[in-house]
């Protein structure tokens, strides 16, 4: 287990229990921590470790006052640049101040807003949430926030109950429902899956936070082994420096034609000072507000980044634009993946030691072969020598969230600078503040969770992600199994057909077949079913190059063909047309026009019918009256002949 804050090892996977409150003058702040966040400080200390300076804004989310309660999943960087991601789960609630039994002097508002937070070494989001919600409810029911004994008991109970827990099994996915995701996004689920495979900058947007983090983490759960073992390096970032430190850094900056070299260890071991500018979200009107616009915040951050977090030193100009930095990231460490000299490989491996324990230093003998493990009823994970992640015999999880590709289930406004940070090559992040959504140039795709819409800004990227016929069949089969009412069929190892485990199994088969197809010699036809342009783009990503640097004989048992390959049929044409109408801009316009035209025709038909029907009815009535009059006149003429005529 990772050591917490330089102290002795923690008693279990839970590092800290933290209470974050909203102060009417100071904004969000830590009010209680057990054990203390900093050694030697008291439980009620407001001081934060530099790496966790954003903790209050993550635990008490922006706009929280609009909801009675909420839940947040978030990630924190490791302390002192060592170890793995720290997984945070926070339960927020608010209570009326007049309901408190003990009202402290600093409570001056009508409502009190607080979050109880768990910082853990295990990614057990749903399990921690279930336990934390009960304790948070009980803590608020006390109506006296000085009663902290229940929080200390929570720390002891969680460490005792989770100390023997493993991160394999269904408990990892508690609260993450692929069924709901498929019902909402339908065929677009596969597009989200491929976006992350390409390591693009993806921003999820919705409010409240619990819906946001639930959708984002559910998408990640579709990647085999990702939740369990793939997020250990997903929050390797450094907080933004204060304005005074930025000024000092600018004075010490070498001329523009000079260059600097950096590595991941340089970045993760850099300590930056406390931020002097206090920023609070929309928690209340009395809170101090952020100085300057969102664009200015990003501009301040961009000039302070001078090093790269890739394993190999990289020479970057001091003044780097986000556009050029992305190209640099794509070519930072090809040596370790494409057969470099022994000397270069030793340099790379030396730089990567901080990602690996001492007993897992990469070997010099190329290439690496991962031996198949005996099937004992459960997946066996072994250390990956290149990725530093725990991998199964197929090389899963893929090393997506490594080397500067971040996973931030919830991103606070104070973290906005990370979107334009040159040391961040990509991200999958969630936000509830509309200012994030408006900065479209900082992301490749924006996912509107409420409307189930995926906005992809680049036309070329949209073309690359356009689903093939086989992909449409795959997605359509998922939707049909989930949406249609059918007899439940239990499949060994994957749960109920159409259930959560079954959906994850389908994506596992998909990615395994894709990897197997990429290794075939004559594979043009196989890869065309996945999208030739997509596969070409994917092969240039960091995660594929890391995976391809090792051999995985277990994949020889996998069928390299697309799970839904086959000849075209009429149903494929209908499926393609339906997808085009629902997803393309031209198709949407055509669909809207058809709906509008159909509505107008129906309304016009009703109006015409009413008009014609009314005219016919009037004519019929008039004719009936005329015939009736004529009949009466004729009868009267026959019975009463005119006078004087016989």
Torsion angle in degrees (nearest 10) through CA of 400, 438, 278, 93? -80
Rounded to whole angstroms, the Cα distance separating 282 from 22 reads 11
Rounded to whole angstroms, the Cα distance separating 400 from 222 reads 13
pLDDT at 92: 94
pLDDT at 640: 42
Nearest to 165 by CA among 207, 135, 130, 121: 121
Quote the strand ranges of 276-387, DSSP E: 314-317, 368-369, 382-383
pLDDT in tens, 437-458: 999 999 999 999 999 999 999 9
Could you give the 3-state DSSP secondary structure of residue 174?
coil
Phi, psi of 362 (to 5 degrees): -60, 145
Question: What would the two tokens of residue 142 be?
Answer: 């006390």
* Helix pair angle (469-483, 188-197), 10° resolution: 120
Could you give the 3-state DSSP secondary structure of residue 32?
strand
Length of the chain: 646
pLDDT at 367: 47
Quote the strand ranges of 566-619, DSSP E: none
**Residue 304 vs residues 246, 262, 269, 403, 436: alpha-carbon distances, Å:** 6, 13, 16, 19, 21
CB 73 within 8 A of CB 213: yes
pLDDT at 605: 54
pLDDT at 497: 83
Rounded to whole angstroms, the Cα distance separating 206 from 432 reads 5
Look up the pTM and report it: 0.70
pLDDT in tens, 565-592: 765 554 545 545 455 555 555 555 655 6
Could you give the 3-state DSSP secondary structure of residue 63?
coil
Rounded to whole angstroms, the Cα distance separating 217 from 177 reads 9
Query: For the chain, how are helix, strand and coil distributed in percent, rounded to 5?
Result: 45, 15, 40
Q: Give the right CATH number for 14-165 from 3.40.1130, 3.30.450, 2.60.40, 3.30.70.
A: 3.30.450
For the chain, which residues make up each domain, given as ranges?
14-165, 178-237+381-465
pLDDT at 582: 57
Rounded to whole angstroms, the Cα distance separating 602 from 611 reads 14
pLDDT at 204: 98
CB 213 within 8 A of CB 409: yes
CATH class of 178-237+381-465: alpha beta
pLDDT at 233: 93
Classify residue 59 as exposed, middle or buried by CB count within 10 Å of its CB (0-12, 13-18, 19+). Answer: buried
Rounded to whole angstroms, the Cα distance separating 89 from 118 reads 5
Torsion angle in degrees (nearest 10) through CA of 183, 187, 193, 196? -110
Enumerate residue ranges in the chain where pLDDT < 70: 1-11, 105-106, 108, 163-169, 241-379, 485-495, 566-646
CB 501 within 8 A of CB 491: no
CB 288 within 8 A of CB 278: yes
Classify residue 183 as exposed, middle or buried by CB count within 10 Å of its CB (0-12, 13-18, 19+). Answer: middle
Residues contacting residue 625 through CB under 8 Å, at least 6 positions apart: none
pLDDT at 313: 37
CB 241 within 8 A of CB 249: yes
Classify residue 96 as exposed, middle or buried by CB count within 10 Å of its CB (0-12, 13-18, 19+). Answer: exposed
Question: What would the two tokens of residue 78 be?
Answer: 């490791």
């Amino acid at each position: 287990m990772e050591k917490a804050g330089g102290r002795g090892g923690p008693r279990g996977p839970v590092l800290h229990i933290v209470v974050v409150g909203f102060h009417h003058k100071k904004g969000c702040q830590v009010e209680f921590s057990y054990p203390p966040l900093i050694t030697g400080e008291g439980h009620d200390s407001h001081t934060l470790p530099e790496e966790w300076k954003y903790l209050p804004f993550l635990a008490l989310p922006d706009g929280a006052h609009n909801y009675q309660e909420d839940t947040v999943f978030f990630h924190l960087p490791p302390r002192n640049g060592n170890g793995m991601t720290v997984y945070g789960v926070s339960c927020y609630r608010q209570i009326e101040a007049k309901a408190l039994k003990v009202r402290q002097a600093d409570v001056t508002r009508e409502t009190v807003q607080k979050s109880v937070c768990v910082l853990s070494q295990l990614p057990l989001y749903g399990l921690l949430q279930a336990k934390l919600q009960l304790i948070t409810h009980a803590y608020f029911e006390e109506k006296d926030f000085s009663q902290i004994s229940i929080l200390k008991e929570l720390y002891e109970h969680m460490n005792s109950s989770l100390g023997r827990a493993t991160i394999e099994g269904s408990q990892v996915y508690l609260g993450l429902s692929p069924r709901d995701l498929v019902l909402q996004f339908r065929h677009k689920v596969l597009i989200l899956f491929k976006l992350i495979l390409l390591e693009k900058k993806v921003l999820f947007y919705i409010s409240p936070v619990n819906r946001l983090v639930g959708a984002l983490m559910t998408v990640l759960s579709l990647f085999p082994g990702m939740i369990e073992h793939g997020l250990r390096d997903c929050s390797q970032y450094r907080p933004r420096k204060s304005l005074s430190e930025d000024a000092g850094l600018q004075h010490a900056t070498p001329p523009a034609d000079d260059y600097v070299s950096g590595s991941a260890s340089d970045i993760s071991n850099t300590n930056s000072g406390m931020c002097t500018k206090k920023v609070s979200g929309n928690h209340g009107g009395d809170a101090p507000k952020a100085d300057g616009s969102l664009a200015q915040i990003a501009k301040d951050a961009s000039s302070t980044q001078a090093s790269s977090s890739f394993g190999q030193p990289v020479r970057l100009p001091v003044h780097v634009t986000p556009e050029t930095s992305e190209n640099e990231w794509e070519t930072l460490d090809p040596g370790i993946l494409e057969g470099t000299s022994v000397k270069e490989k030793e340099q790379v491996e030396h730089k990567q030691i901080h990602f690996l324990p001492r007993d897992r230093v990469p070997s010099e003998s190329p290439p690496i072969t991962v031996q198949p493990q005996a099937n004992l009823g459960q997946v066996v994970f072994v250390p990956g020598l290149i990725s530093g992640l725990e991998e199964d015999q197929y090389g899963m999880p893929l090393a997506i969230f490594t080397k500067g590709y971040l996973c931030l289930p919830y991103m606070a406004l104070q973290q906005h600078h990370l979107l334009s940070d040159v040391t961040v090559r990509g991200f999958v992040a969630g936000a509830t503040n509309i200012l994030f959504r408006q900065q479209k140039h900082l992301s490749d795709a924006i996912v509107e969770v409420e409307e189930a819409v995926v906005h992809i800004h680049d036309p070329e990227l949209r073309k690359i992600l356009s689903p093939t016929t086989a992909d449409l069949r795959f997605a359509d089969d998922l939707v049909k199994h989930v949406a249609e009412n059918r007899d439940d069929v239990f499949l060994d190892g994957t749960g109920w057909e159409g259930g959560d485990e079954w959906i994850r199994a389908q994506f596992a088969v998909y990615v395994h077949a894709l990897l197997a197809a990429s290794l075939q010699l004559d594979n043009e036809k196989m890869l065309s079913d996945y999208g030739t342009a997509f596969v070409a783009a994917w092969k240039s990503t960091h995660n594929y190059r890391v995976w391809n640097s090792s051999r995985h004989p277990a994949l020889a048992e996998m069928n390299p063909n697309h799970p839904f390959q086959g000849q075209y049929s009429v149903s494929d044409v209908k499926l393609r047309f339906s997808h085009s109408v629902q997803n393309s801009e031209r198709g949407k316009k055509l669909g809207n026009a058809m709906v509008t035209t159909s509505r107008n025709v129906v309304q016009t038909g009703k109006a015409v019918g009413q008009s014609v029907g009314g005219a016919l009815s009037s004519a019929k009535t008039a004719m009936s009256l005329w015939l009736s009059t004529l009949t009466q006149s004729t009868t009267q003429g026959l019975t009463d002949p005119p006078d004087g005529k016989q």
